[in-house]
Amino acid sequence: MSRHPLPPERLEARTAEIGGGLTIRRALPNRHRRTVGAWCFLDHAGPMEFAAGGGMHVGPHPHIGLQTFTWMIEGDVVHRDSLGNEQLITPGQVNLMTAGAGIAHAEDSAPGHAGKLHAAQLWIALPEGERRRAPAFRNHPQLPLIESGGFSVRVLAGSAFGHRSPAEVYSPLVGLDLTTTGRAILAVPLAGAFEHAALVLSGAASVAGEALAPGTLLYFGPGREELALRTEGPARILLIGGTPFGEEILVWWNFVARTREEIALAARDWNAGRFGAVRGSPAPPLVTPDVAGLNLRPALNPDRTP
Ligand code: MN
């Protein structure tokens, strides 16, 4: 473990559009960094208010080789999947869907009325020994909450401050939501073997002495034992981390795999209806982007990942 860890890297999120015409900030994958631990995707949606019929409407689409991890801060979204699950996720809850060998799902803001949306959606790459496991879905309404240094710390994934999230993950990682209503100072203990990244979801904060606001992911390499957080006003910070993911992954569309052949097969399976039906979603199924182009690209293209 290094006594003098490298300075943090500032990674700018880009905007992207997801179903329903919703504009979000995509912090991962980033052209300068693909993963933080096994976390391989990070979208920040909102905070926003929308008119009736608006909000999130992502029609049925498939996933393989990953877990989708949704942290709902404001608003209500209905999850439906090809296992037959229909689950309303409400503020303070995590939805964790393990795609493994393959699953399809849809996500829709509750229909018919105006609403709010503030959420983070992340993907966790599954390691080689787990990535073909049977698909599963869990809603986690109860997550550990710790009050420390003026922060309310919610343990979304992994463990911190002696508390462990019930969310089942398959590699060493952590995910924390740290919220303040005013001036606060906290040193967050870190696992020295983990790399970490912090994203301000609202307000502003000083993270290890760096001024941080929404839209910038601040990355820290392994070898740190704590992270100094300071706020002067209301703020919310997402902190993720994990053991550097030692496997070369290929991310294309909604798939995480190792080879182009696996990706092409998954795309064919989706187009042939072999992921199973997602019943009850008001939005039409998503169409796979042109798989033919896949053979031409030397590496993953994050712009093709919705
Ligand atoms: Mn999805």
Rounded distance between C-alpha atoms, residue 277 and residue 28, angstroms: 29
Cα 155 to averaged position of ligand 1 atoms, centre (Å): 22
Plot region of 53 (φ>0 → left; ψ -120 to 50 → alpha; else → beta): left
254 C-alpha to ligand 1 centroid (Å): 7
Distance 238 CA to ligand 1 centre (A): 20
Token pair belonging to 148: 């420390």
Query: Which residues form the domain of 126?
Result: 9-242
Span from the CA of 87 to the centroid of ligand 1 (angstroms)? 14
Helix (H) or strand (E) holding 17: strand 14-18
* Digit-coded pLDDT (tens) for 43-91: 999 999 998 888 889 999 999 999 999 999 999 999 999 999 999 999 9
Kindly report, residue by residue over 6-34, the tens digit of the pLDDT: 899 999 999 998 877 889 999 999 999 99
What's the gap in Å between 63 CA and the centre of ligand 1? 7
Is residue 196 assigned to a domain?
yes
Q: Is residue 202 part of a domain?
A: yes
Task: Say how many Å lie between the CA of residue 61 and the centre of ligand 1.
Answer: 6
pTM, entire model:
0.94
Q: How far apart are CA 13 and CA 152, in angstroms?
A: 25
Whether residue 266 lies inside any domain: the answer is: no
CA of 304 to the centre of ligand 1 (A): 14
What share of the chain has pLDDT > 90, as a percent?
Answer: 84
User: What CATH number did the domain enclosing 134 receive?
Assistant: 2.60.120.10
CA of 188 to the centre of ligand 1 (A): 31
Ligand 1 centroid to residue 298 C-alpha, Å:
25
How much is the average pLDDT of 276-302?
A: 73
Total domain count for the chain? Answer: 1
259 falls within a domain: no
1: closest CA among 239, 195, 203, 133?
195
Residue 261, H or E segment: helix 260-271
- pLDDT range class, residue 305, cuts 50, 70, 90: very low
